[in-house]
Amino acid sequence: MPSYVVLLGPPGAGKGTQAERISDELGLAHISSGDIFRENLKNQTELGKKAQGYMNRGELVPDDLTIEMIKDRLQRDDCKAGALLDGFPRTPAQAEALGKMLAEWNGKVDCVPYISVPAEELITRLCGRWTCRAQGHVYHEKFNPSKKPGVCDVDGSELYQRDDDKKETVERRISVYLEQTSPLIEYYKKLGVLAEIDGTLPIDQVTSLMLKALKKG
Which stretches does DSSP call E strand in the chain?
A: 3-7, 29-32, 82-86, 109-116, 129-132, 138-140, 159-160, 194-198
Choose the stretch contacting ligand AP5; rule: CB under 6 A; options: 74-82, 153-161, 182-190, 198-206.
Answer: 198-206
Residue 140 lies near ligand AP5 (rule: CB under 6 A): yes
Question: For residue 83, how far is the Cα from the chain centroid?
Answer: 12
Burial (CB < 10 A; 0-12, 13-18, 19+), residue 19, is buried
Q: Which of residues 75-134 bind ligand AP5 (CB under 6 A)?
A: 87-88, 90, 94, 125-126, 129
- Quick check: 12 binds ligand AP5 (CB under 6 A)? yes
- Helix, strand or coil for residue 53? helix
136 binds ligand AP5 (CB under 6 A): no
Active site residue 90: yes
Q: Which residue is nearest to ligand AP5 (CB)?
A: 34
- For ligand AP5, which is the closer residue by CB, 3 or 94? 94
Tell me, yes or no, if 76 is annotated catalytic: no
Strand, helix or coil for residue 167: helix
Contact of 7 with 19, CB cutoff 8 Å: yes
Name the residues that contact ligand AP5, by CB under 6 A. Answer: 9, 11-17, 33-34, 37, 54-55, 58-61, 66, 87-88, 90, 94, 125-126, 129, 138-140, 143-144, 164, 173, 199, 202-203, 206
Enumerate the active-site residues.
15, 90, 129, 162, 173
